[in-house]
Amino acid sequence: MKLIYEKSKAGRRAGSLPRYDLPNVEVPEDLRRTAAPRLPEISEPELVRHFTALADRNFGVDTGFYPLGSCTMKHNPRVNERVVNLPGFRDLHPYQEEDGAQGALELMWRLQEILAEVCGLHAVSLQPAAGSQGELTGLMLMRAYFADRGEADERRVVITADTAHGTNPASVAMAGYELQKVETDDRGNLDLDDLRAKVDGRTAGLMLTNPSTLGLFDEHITEVSEIFHDAGALLYYDGANLNAVCGISRPGDMGFDIVHINLHKTFSQPHGGGGPGGGPIAVRDMLEPFLPVPAVVRDGDAFRLDHDRPKSIGKVRGFGGPFGVFVRSYAYIRAYGPALREMSEAAVLNANYLLARLKDVYDLPFDRLCMHEFVLSASNLKREHGVTALDVAKRLMDHGFHPPTIYFPLIVPEALMIEPTETEAKETLDEFVEAMRAIAAEAATDPQTIKDAPHRRPVRRLDEVKAAKRAVVKFGFEEHPDLAPVKSEAGGEAIEAAKGA
């Protein structure tokens, strides 16, 4: 398919803006643009066709089953799109005076209250733009808290699980902490002996997801929380897996002091091909003074932005955060009301159903009931037929499914992490089971077809090695021929390097 730049034709233009009969203002010569940027010159019909063609080459939750573990690819209700586009939200400037933004501030305040209740904690900031920014913010809160108590120099270490999402150690490094890892035991819980050996007066805190990335609820979470609190440390909850326990178990009650929530996972903000998201944080009361500024507060019947927070860590993102994301999540939660637990119950039922029907054909690292997701291993297929988790993933595409997460968590070789979410129908789950079983059977009879998959997507398997070795990250225009210009009626240039991997 052609790039939009390859469809560009001098003199074409989709846009029109008003022009006024006013004198032109000259930009000083040394600041004036000399060479025009090579943006596409395209008409509106061609523009629409181009992006429609791109959409046709993409697969979303709207298209089909998307069981990516720890991503919570649930259906995104369309009413949320209608309300986010209300002019009172869409066309509201963030520097509008508070009396002109009461509806927005009230929505934010109500969402804060809901998230505090869901987490079992006391105060919330909606400011962080995504889960990993929420993590970094949480770690900054930890540092501010200990600095306030005169313990900053001692408390240098944050402990994460060996099953942790990669953002956890990256956030720890960005926050200037040292990282320590704790092991997972045979049941998929944190190894308490390993933990006790590692927690001491140098520990600032724990970063943990519960249920873990194995989809397992830590049966000793109460002991874990005691170990850290007894050492004077804090507990941070990575909310990536919150979809499993809403209204059923609250992170604050488990002992966590800081929680980030992924609005784009649990609360249906559409993933948008990679973003936007929202990563609000909820904290126990002793941490409230350190939250980012401004805080959204209620003052009688009115709602205000409170900038007077002398102990605040500062600001992690512009304005109050990604407001459009708040609108969608608030509308989503209002559709459930206090019955939000039904969401988690269905998510956990769907996952356990898939697990029950697949554990006899794939290796099962942990034989327990799962929460909202579970991990299988394709090690048996690799051992017996040379078919890897990657191959299984690519072959699932031919069956019309997006693959699950692969090669994560790191402690399970050939991992397949599957999270169906609560919005899937039983029929879809049954079709997925059939496809997974068919692939396992095909591995024995015709592994090569699996290794050459996908066969039915707009492209065949792509060469990621080539892309990393010689990174071509923008269109070359006339200067550099592209790797394989599209064979077109006009007759593209023949580039020797293009053919083959």
Partner 1 sequence: MSHLSLTDADREAMLAAVGVASVEELFRDIPEGVRFGRDLDIDPALSEPEIVAHLTELAERNVDTGKELSFLGGGIYDHYVPAVVDAVLARGEFLTAYTPYQPEMSQGVLQAIFEYQTAICELTGMDVSNASGYDGTTVAADACFVAKHATGRSKVVLCETVHPQVRQVVKTYAPGFGLEVVEVAHDGGVTDPDELGKASADAACVIFQQPNFFGCLEPAPDLASAANEAGALPVAHVDLVSLGVLEPPGAYGCALAIGEGQGAGNFQSYGGPHYGFLAARSDLVRRMPGRIVGETTDLEGERGYVLTLQTREQHIRREKATSNITTNQTLLALAGLVHLSWLGPQGLREQGETCMALGEYAKERLGLPLVFPDRTTFKEFAVHVGRSATDVIRDARAQGVHPGYALGRDYPGLDDAVLVAVTEKRTPEDIDRLAEVLGEVAR
Partner 2 sequence: MAAEESYPEELRYHAEHDWARVDGDEATLGITWFAQNALGDIVHFEAPEQGIAIANGESYGEVESVKAVSDVIAPLSGEIVEVNAKVIEEPETINEDPYGNGWLVRVRLSDPGELDDLLDAAAYRKLLESL
Site residues for partner 1, window 14-33 (CB under 8 A)?
Answer: 14-20, 22-25, 27-28, 30-33
- Half-sphere exposure of residue 194: CA atoms within 13 angstroms, side-chain side: 14
Closer Cβ to partner 1, 445 or 501, answer by number = 501
3-state secondary structure of 239: strand
Token pair listed for 19: 């022009």
**Residues paired with residue 68 on neighbouring β-strands, in sequence order:** 418
Can residue 226 be called a binding residue for partner 1 (CB under 8 A)? no
Report the 3 state secondary structure along 292-318.
Answer: CCCEEEEECCEEEEECCCCCCCCCCCC
Per partner kind, with CB cut-offs from 5 to 8 A, the member of partner 2, partner 1, none near residue 169 is partner 1
3-state secondary structure of 377: strand
Which helix H or strand E contains 108, and what residues bound it?
helix 102-119
Closer Cβ to partner 2, 113 or 452, answer by number = 452
Closer Cβ to partner 1, 1 or 441, answer by number = 1
- Report phi then psi at 196, rounded to 5: -60, -35
Q: Which stretch binds partner 1 (CB under 8 A): 113-121, 194-202, 374-382, 411-419?
A: 113-121
Can residue 490 be called a binding residue for partner 1 (CB under 8 A)? no
Q: Which stretch binds partner 1 (CB under 8 A): 100-108, 227-235, 282-290, 440-448?
A: 100-108
Per partner kind, with CB cut-offs from 5 to 8 A, the member of partner 1, partner 2, none near residue 221 is partner 1
Amino acid at 148: D
**d(Cα 391, Cα 394) in Å, to the nearest integer?**
5
Closer Cβ to partner 2, 336 or 407, answer by number = 407
Closer Cβ to partner 1, 60 or 232, answer by number = 60
Interface residue with partner 1, options 69, 125, 143, 282 (CB under 8 A): 143
**Residues paired with residue 40 on neighbouring β-strands, in sequence order:** none
Task: Count residues binding partner 1 (CB under 8 A).
Answer: 210
Amino acid at 274: G
Can residue 207 be called a binding residue for partner 1 (CB under 8 A)? no
Can residue 97 be called a binding residue for partner 1 (CB under 8 A)? yes
Token pair listed for 443: 């591995």
Per partner kind, with CB cut-offs from 5 to 8 A, the member of partner 1, partner 2, none near residue 205 is none
Interface residue with partner 1, options 206, 350, 416, 443 (CB under 8 A): 350
- Half-sphere exposure of residue 148: CA atoms within 13 angstroms, side-chain side: 15
Closer Cβ to partner 2, 17 or 468, answer by number = 468
Per partner kind, with CB cut-offs from 5 to 8 A, the member of partner 1, partner 2, none near residue 173 is partner 1
Token pair listed for 50: 């181009």
Per partner kind, with CB cut-offs from 5 to 8 A, the member of partner 2, partner 1, none near residue 310 is none
Can residue 96 be called a binding residue for partner 1 (CB under 8 A)? yes
Interface residue with partner 1, options 309, 311, 368, 437 (CB under 8 A): 368
Interface residue with partner 1, options 65, 121, 131, 232 (CB under 8 A): 131
Edge-first strand listing for the sheet containing 374-377:
374-377, 415-418, 405-406
Beta carbon of residue 175, minimum distance to partner 1 (angstroms, whole number): 4
User: Which residues have CB under 8 Å from 17's CB, separation 6+?
Assistant: none
- Half-sphere exposure of residue 439: CA atoms within 13 angstroms, side-chain side: 32
Binding site for partner 2 (CB under 8 A): 407, 464-465, 468-469
**d(Cα 326, Cα 84) in Å, to the nearest integer?**
9
Name the H helices within 310-460: 323-336, 341-358, 379-385, 389-398, 426-445, 447-451
Beta carbon of residue 466, minimum distance to partner 2 (angstroms, whole number): 9
User: 162 with 260: CB under 8 angstroms?
Assistant: no
User: 232 with 325: CB under 8 angstroms?
Assistant: no
Site string for partner 1, 170-199 (x = CB under 8 A): xxxxxxx--x--------------------
Q: Which stretch binds partner 1 (CB under 8 A): 73-81, 201-209, 227-235, 437-445?
A: 73-81
Beta carbon of residue 97, minimum distance to partner 1 (angstroms, whole number): 7
